[in-house]
Amino acid sequence: MSADPYAAEARQTTEGPVYTVTGGDWDQIVDAVQSDHDERIVINLGPQHPSTHGVLRLVLELEGETVTQARSVIGYLHTGIEKNCEYRTWTQGVTFVTRCDYLSPLFTETAYCLGVEKLLGIEAPRRAQLGRVLLMEINRISSHLVALATGGMELGALTGMTSGFREREVALHLLEHLTGLRMNHAYIRPGGMAQDFPEDYREKVMEFVDWMDEYLPSYDKLLTGQPIWRNRLAGVGYLPVDGCLALGATGIILRAAGLPWDMRKTEPYSCYDEFDFEVPVETDADCFARYKLRVAEMHESLKIIRQCLDKLEPGPVMVEDKKVAWPAQLSLGADGLGNSLEHVRKIMGQSMESLIHHFKLVTEGFKVPAGQSYTAVESPRGELGAHLVSDGGTRPMRVHLREPSFINLQTMPAMSEGGMIADVIAAVASIDPVMGGCDR
């Protein structure tokens, strides 16, 4: 019986045994190629190669410069986020899931909270639903800007990188003003939102819209109409609609192949059925088509943001049920932190019942009826679903996310095999995977 290639050898130190795990898979891959194909080589891209998205490892089998076989190896960024949710209350779970896809955290928060609300049988107030739409569309623009910027950097269009991150910084400044944080907001909560927007939110949002109206057309001059950029992406990373359906790809990849599948239109949520916007579609099914769709979707998001501002009216941003609304009556005090002084004075000095309830709600959380739910939203990368299972307690029994980065990444071999090694980088950039979501 042969030795286990993954067995770890131990050596004793003053602190106890230390184990060294050998790379058994690499030896097997190389040996298999050398025995079958003398003229082929295997190279390892990653897991920290500058031309891959995050900590992603690509194992490529090459014949000359042609890719004969491609494998993606994931798991280097695993944080156990889904498992951690089982040890926190339903509200605390938001602070974990927002860290999965760290480029579009507000979408994961929304999918998760919609699932909790479905199990509770409640619906967030209208202002909260419209506020979620506003935040998600700003976040969609910032995420697409990163896709254009990093894709440009990986392909040598450095001006595209600097321009993309310039606009993204404006978007993150706006999100920080609205929610208090640039990323990982935990602002969308079960039952609504943590608190209302600041008083000057309309002016700040319109400043961002005006900025994007001024600078977004420049991407067409800089990249779309640039022959070098067009020739570099056109015909590269081809994946037709039947391949997308077979591999479960959604989002930009699927719409670039001609199928207008967008959860905001096909299965509307959070008042999206009230908005007037288009779902851009291309039919070339290549990297250039995916690039053009991201630019087009940013224009559509700006249309939705304008409509949001027209629809937003004064009202509550959290359900009235005090058994669910957490934290209770959150508003800023004179020091810019915590609950309002009036609320603190009430629960501390006038009502012992209010103090006990506030304490139990924060420490124990609220109970969610036993059952399971699946809710999905259209994230910048495709269908993002949250499957939640409750056993009737104050903590989730199971949280599982259908992360589009994880699903879409399996399209990489289909896009890359048979093409040149340089085109692998373009294909991965067009998929736009976020490894935090992939390795959750």
Domain range annotation of the chain: 8-73, 81-121+123-320+369-438
Range scoring the smallest mean pLDDT among 105-114, 162-171, 201-210, 218-227: 218-227
Q: Can you tell me the mean pLDDT for 2-11?
A: 61
Return d(Cα 180, Cα 196) in angstroms, integer: 11
* Average pLDDT over the chain, rounded to an integer: 83
Q: Can you tell me the mean pLDDT for 257-286?
A: 90
Return d(Cα 63, Cα 376) in angstroms, integer: 42
Per DSSP, helices labelled H in 123-192 are 126-154, 158-179
pLDDT at residue 326, rounded to an integer:
64
Backbone angles phi, psi at 355, to 5 degrees: -65, -45
Most confident range (mean pLDDT) of 5-9, 46-50, 276-280 is 276-280
| Rounded percentage of the chain residues whose pLDDT exceeds 70 | 84
Which single residue is written with the structure tokens 């999918």? 111
pLDDT at residue 333, rounded to an integer:
45
Q: Can you tell me the mean pLDDT for 11-36?
A: 63
For 122, the 3-state DSSP assignment is coil
Task: Give the relative orientation of helices 201-215 and 287-311 as an angle to the nearest 10 degrees.
Answer: 150
Q: Which residue has the higher pLDDT, 352 or 97?
A: 97
pLDDT at residue 328, rounded to an integer:
47
Nearest by Cα to 223 from 233, 238, 237: 233
Chain segment 35-63, per-residue pLDDT in tens: 566 677 888 887 766 556 668 888 888 88
Backbone angles phi, psi at 69, to 5 degrees: -155, 140
pLDDT at residue 41, rounded to an integer:
84
351 pLDDT exceeds 50?
Answer: yes
Exposure b/e, 266-296, CB count within 10 A at least 16 = b? eeebbebeebebebbbbebbbbbbbbbbbbb
pLDDT at residue 324, rounded to an integer:
78
Bridge partner list, 338: none
For residue 49, what are its two tokens?
Answer: 């190669």
432 pLDDT exceeds 90?
Answer: no
Describe the strand order of the beta sheet including 41-45 as a list of residue ranges: 41-45, 57-63, 66-73
Return d(Cα 166, Cα 400) in angstroms, integer: 34
pLDDT at residue 256, rounded to an integer:
92
* pLDDT band, very low/low/confident/very high, at 1 (cuts 50, 70, 90): very low
Range scoring the smallest mean pLDDT among 1-15, 279-293, 299-313, 401-415: 1-15
Would you say domain 81-121+123-320+369-438 falls under CATH 1.10.645.10? Answer: yes
335 pLDDT exceeds 60?
Answer: no
pLDDT at residue 374, rounded to an integer:
92
181 pLDDT exceeds 90?
Answer: no
138 pLDDT exceeds 90?
Answer: yes
Q: Which residue has the higher pLDDT, 32 or 281?
A: 281
